[in-house]
Structures are given as structure tokens and as C-alpha cells.
Amino acid sequence: PDASGTDLFVLHEGTNVTVKSTLGEWSEIELEDGNVGWMPSKDIEKI
């Protein structure tokens, strides 16, 4: 994960994700449709 990496998809506020793992300040997430990617952990709110 890196801020200069390629965007694979765009998430909108309120999108449900599952956090699969964390690495430093990044979280690996999985969407309900099975897509997987990384995003800054600070942008995720636990509900």
C-alpha cells in the first residue's frame, strides 16, 4: 500500500467493508462484491 499507488475503485461514504489485515497506517479491505484493496486506516470508521 502506498499513497502514490493506482486507484482500483472509488468508495462512497457509508460503504460497508471488511478489514482483512492492517500494515502500518493502511488497512486491507474487502467489499461485499469480493473486490479487495488497501486504504488508509484513518478513513475507516468501525460500526
pLDDT of residue 44: 95
Instruction: Give burial (CB, 10 Å; 0-12/13-18/19+) of 37.
Output: middle
Q: Give this prediction's pTM.
A: 0.85
pLDDT of residue 30: 97
Q: How distant, in Å, are the alpha carbons of 23, 24, 42, 47 from that of 12?
A: 23, 23, 15, 16
CA 46 distance to own-chain centroid: 12
3-class state of residue 42 by DSSP: helix
pLDDT of residue 38: 96
pLDDT of residue 32: 94
pLDDT in tens, 1-47: 888 999 988 999 999 999 999 999 999 999 999 999 999 999 999 98
Contact indicator for 38, 30 with CB cutoff of 8 Å: no
